[in-house]
Amino acid sequence: MITSRTIAVGIVKAIGILLLFALLLYFLYKIQTVILYLIIALVFTLIANPVVEFLRQKLKFSNTAAVSVTLVFFMLIIVGILLMFVPLIVSQSNNLSLLNTQAIEKNIVELTNQTLTYLKSHNIDAKKLVNTNINLDVFTSFFNSILTTISNIGVGLASVFFITFFFLKDKVMFLVGAKKILPDAHEEQIINSVTKINELLSRYFIGLLLQLLIIFVLYLIVLLIFGIENALIIAFLCAILNIVPYIGPIISTIIAGFLTMMSHLGEDFQTEILPSTIFVLIGFFIVQLIDNNISQPLIFSKSVNSHPLEIFLVILISGFLFGIMGMVIAVPLFTIIKVVGKEFFPENKIIKQFTKNI
C-alpha cells in the first residue's frame, strides 16, 4: 500500500538523485580541460600505437624504450612545425595585420573601394550592397583569445604527452584492470570491441594525418605557383581547416581568396588582384575536387572499412544533428557503433550488412 511516507521518501530520493546528477555535471564542467587532455591523449595513443608496436616487434625495443622513442619523435615533429611557422608568423604579422584593427579596417576599405570602382567601370552599382564602415573589434577580440589559448599550449602539451606515455606504457595493465570490473557474460565481446576499435581508429587518425599532409602540399603548390605571400602559413591554416568535412574546405577557400587579395593590396585591381584571386580560387577548387573524390574517400574508406557513401551520409547527418563538432567526430563514432554492433548483435540483418567488411 502506498502511503504518504512512501511518496515522501520517493520524492526525497528523486531530488537526491537529481542533485547528485547536477553535481556530477558541474564537476565535469569544471574539469573540462582535464577531459580534453584525456581525449587528445587517447587520440595520440591511437596514432602512436602502431609506431610503438613496430619498434617493439620489428626492432626489438623494450616497451618503455619504444614508447619513449615514439613520443620523442612526435615531440620533434611538433617542435619542427613550431620552428617552421612561428618565425614566419612573427615576421609576416605586419603584412597579415591579424591583430591590428585599424590596419584591417583600412585595408578592407581600400580593397572594397577598388572592387566598387571595378564594378562601376562595368556598369554594376554595388555600392548599396556594401557598407565600408566596418567595425572589426570582434575580430581583434577573437584573435586575442586565440593568443591567450596559445599561451597555455605548453602546459597542455606537457600534460597530454605525460598522459599518453602511461596510456602506451601501461596499456596491458589497464586492460587487465578493465577485465576485473567488466561483467563476465560480456567480457570477451567488450575486449574484442576495444581491440577492433583501437585498430580501426589508429588507421583512421593516421589516414587523417596523411590526408591533411596531401592537402597542405597541394595548397602550397597552388599558392607558390601564383606567387602568394605567406604561402606556407596560408596553406597550413587551410589544410588544418579540412579537419571539418565539407564546411572546412569552403572556409579555407574564402580565407585563401581574402588573403590573396590582401597580399596584392596596392596593385591594380583589374590586372593583378582579381586575376590572382580567381586563379587561386580555381586552384583550391581543383585541390578540393581531388581530395573529395580521390584522397579522402580512398583513405577514409580503407582506414575504417566503410563505403565512401556511408561516410558521406554519416558526416552529413551528424552535421545536421550536432553541427560542426558532429561532423568532426562522425566517422570515429560511426566506427565505434559498427564494431560494438557487430560484437553484440552479429545475427541482426541490418548490422550484418553494415559490418560485413570489418
Q: What is the pLDDT of residues 155-169, one digit of tens each?
A: 777 888 888 888 888
Backbone angles phi, psi at 209, to 5 degrees: -60, -40
Given a cut of 80, whether residue 145 has pLDDT beyond it is no
156, 111 contact by CB (below 8 A): no
| pLDDT computed for residue 221 by the predictor | 92
For residue 309, how far is the Cα from the chain centroid? 21
Report DSSP state, residue 300: H
What is the reported pLDDT for 251? 84
* Distant-in-sequence, close-in-space partners of 284: CB < 8 Å, separation ≥ 6: 219, 222, 238, 249, 252, 253, 256, 257
Q: Would you state the cell numbers that stand for residue 307, as one nine-digit string? A: 563505403
Is residue 123 a contact partner of residue 82, using CB atoms and an 8 Å limit?
Answer: no
User: 83-87, 225-229, 351-355 — which is least confidently predicted?
Assistant: 83-87
| Domain boundaries of the chain, sorted by first residue | 1-30, 182-358
The rounded distance, in Å, linking the Cα atoms of 84 and 104 is: 25
On the question of pLDDT at 345 being above 60, the answer is: yes
71: left (phi over 0), alpha (psi -120 to 50) or beta: alpha
Q: In the block, which residue shows the cell 574539469?
A: 31
Angle (CA) 60-65-68 rounded to 5° is 135
pTM equals 0.63
Look up residue 59 and give its DSSP letter. Answer: S
Q: Are 311 and 333 in contact (CB under 8 A)?
A: no
Pick the residue with more confidence: 245 or 218? Answer: 218
Identify the top-confidence range among 78-82, 137-141, 336-340: 336-340
Task: Please compute, for residue 116, the number of CA atoms within 13 A of its CA located in the half-sphere on the CB side.
Answer: 14
Q: Is it the case that residue 119 has pLDDT exceeding 50? A: yes
Tell me how far apart the alpha carbons of residues 19 and 25 are, in angstroms, rounded to a whole number. Answer: 10
Mean pLDDT over 260-287 rounds to 79
At 80, the amino acid letter reads G
What pLDDT, on a 0 to 100 scale, did the predictor assign at position 96?
47
- Helix pair angle (187-225, 247-263), 10° resolution: 20
Confidence of residue 23 (pLDDT cuts 50, 70, 90): very high
b (16+ CB within 10 A) / e for 76-101: eeeeeeeeeeeeeeeebeeebbbebb
Choose among 350, 355, 217, 214: nearest CA to 295: 214
Q: What is the DSSP letter of 153?
A: H
Cα of first residue to Cα of last residue in the chain, in angstroms, is 54
257 Cβ contact partners less than 8 Å away, ≥ 6 residues apart: 277, 280, 281, 284
| Structure confidence at residue 173 (pLDDT) | 75
Q: How does pLDDT run across 235-253, given as a tens digit for each residue? A: 888 888 888 777 788 888 8
